[in-house]
Amino acid sequence: MATRPSWTGHLRFSLVTIAVQLYSGSKSTRNIPLHQLHKPTLKRVHNQPTVEGVGAIDKKDIVKGYEYKKGSHVVLTAEELEKIKLETNKTIVITEFADVAEIDEIYFDKPYYVVPEDSISMEAYVVFQQALKKTGKVAIGEVVLSGKEHLVAIKPYGKGLLMETLRYADEVRDAHTFFEDLKAPAADKDQLELAISLIKKKSSKFDPTDFDDSYETALHELIDRKLKKLPLETEKPKGKSTKIVNLMDALKKSLGEDEDDEKISKKTAEKGAVKKKAPVKKAAAKKSTAKKKVVVSKKKSA
């Protein structure tokens, strides 16, 4: 396995226990770390823990505590916290099974790939994976990750299993709180039809590789230019227009641009399909120094 597992333990349902490893299904490799620097010396700024009235302190003198009233804490030692650790610290305990459609998407949080730890665990792992696939169910359980207990859902994914952490009910805000005061008028019929037409015209199979993080890309380019000591681009990136436009006009214009793009693409394709003329004999031919013009059709973004 190319990467180290983020968690190793057991998956248990009923009397069956499977040794498994968890690998994070997401990564943040695009994040560019920017350090805080002391401007006069350009040296790194380090965060030193301090106490009011005492000054800088050693990290070994830091303990955990709960503030039960302003300025008053009850101290919790590492030994005391260790004693109350749950069984789910090293075991994913499956408690029930459910249809994935029953779980509101707002509860899903972070994905992990669940992999059998060794060949001995493979048989039970495959049986569990196939049973979930044939029943169309997801397993619901709990596990401790990074010192916090998480509700999780495990489902078949490709040849293996995918575990997704779920938010607890008290971690999700009620949508009714935000939408109850909305007094939306009935949608204009003509505008609605145009909007539906635009959606249908722009519908395609989702491919995440078609998208890129524009800010991270621009940050990479900025750093590269600074390293090469090149002049910085003065042109600001195009932001969203603050000009107020009529919704109907905007929808019509969007549909019109799509039709223009299709016409341009069609004409370009037709030109490319025209057969080249036979070359002129060398005796009668004169070398032409004129460069051929290249027509580039750039598709406009929606």
Query: For 218-241, how does the pLDDT look when each residue is reduced to its tens digit (9 = 90+)?
Result: 777 888 887 887 555 555 555 555
Q: Each residue of 175-189: pLDDT tens digit?
A: 888 888 888 788 888
Range of the domain at 167: 7-26+84-171
Q: What does the pLDDT read at residue 271? A: 56
The fraction of the chain above a pLDDT of 70, given in percent, is 76
Comparing C-alpha atoms, which of 47, 83, 44, 77 is closest to residue 62?
Answer: 77
Per-residue pLDDT, 296: 38
255 in a structural domain = no
Residue 116 lies in a domain: yes
Any domain includes 88: yes
Greatest mean pLDDT among 57-66, 114-123, 192-201 lies in 114-123
Residue 220 lies in a domain: no
Find the CATH number of the domain harbouring 120: 2.40.290.10
Q: Are 14 and 122 in contact (CB under 8 A)?
A: no
Residue 264 belongs to some domain of the structure:
no
**pLDDT value at residue 227:** 81
The C-alpha atoms of residue 91 and residue 10 are separated, in whole angstroms, by: 5
Q: Is the dihedral of CA 243, 247, 253, 258 positive or negative?
A: positive
Q: Is residue 92 part of a domain?
A: yes
Distance, in Å, from the CA atom of 21 to the CA atom of 9, rounded to the nearest integer, reads 6
What's the total number of domains in the chain? Answer: 1
- Percent pLDDT > 90 in the chain is 36
pLDDT at 300: 41
